[in-house]
Copies of this chain bind each other. A is one copy, B any other.
């Protein structure tokens, strides 16, 4: 039988659990709840909540009344204002780690810092933060992009997408320091939980033959975990649910590691494990 090593930090992270709990609790008393974009980057969970009554919308102009659930990735200040101006109620499920980044940006803007965020330009967390900075921040995803930046001031402030890999942020901060400004402020805004999972897959990649990383195909942190496995030199597959498992992955495999992204529910993890246990090699 295949030996299974399940990561200790697995299933929903604190911020996602909080967001999903808020959605479920709101559904107990109210049936008109809108989520601006999918509440988390996990299609299974989004589908379940949608069946219970959370409607996903992409434009606030599409609704006239009801409660608006702000998803864990946060929201642009201009849209928050628009929701308030329309008299709609806000159910704020912004992850507290993301809120911390907004506080940092709000405190520092207009103080002569060149703000740099390490993250993905199109990720909702970054899109919202960029606007919070007055669209006055550079978004970089690798060292090359940092090297190309023209630093306009003598002071740099750095922060990271909460789900970035620690190793990449380390390289990016070093590249920013190497630009030799008078001052560099580095905020460690990578979520603790994400950092723990990264450490765990790195550890697992040394002791198993294959790692299964369970999570939404649109989940940035899940994709990064898969990438880390590969960097660690181990085969790894990204799957959303047990139905994605393929028998031929397990040829000559004696031990596997199980990890999940931050927005993967425990039951999706358990279903994968049950099915793997039944595989005969």
Contact = CB atoms under 8 A, between A and B. Distances in A.
B183 A184 contact: no
A180 interface: yes
Contact of A181 (B170, B173, B177, B188): B188
A185 B188 CA distance: 11
B177 A187 contact: no
Interface string A142-179: 00000000000000000000000000001001100110
A181 B187 CA distance: 8
A185 B182 contact: no
Nearest to A190: B180
Interface residues of A, number: 14
A184 B170 CA distance: 12
A22 interface: no
> Copy number in this complex?
2
A260 B186 CA distance: 35
Q: A interface, by DSSP: helix, strand, loop or mixed?
A: mixed
Contacts of A186: 177, 183-186
Interface of A: 170, 173-174, 177-178, 180-188
Contact of A183 (B174, B177, B185): B185
Contact of A177 (B170, B180, B182): B170
B181 A184 contact: no
A153 to B, nearest CB: 13
A228 to B, nearest CB: 17
Given A170-B177, A185-B186, 16 more contacts: A170-B174, A173-B177, A174-B174, A177-B186, A180-B188, A181-B188, A182-B187, A182-B188, A183-B186, A183-B187, A183-B188, A184-B185, A184-B186, A184-B188, A185-B185, A186-B186
Contacts of A183: 185-188
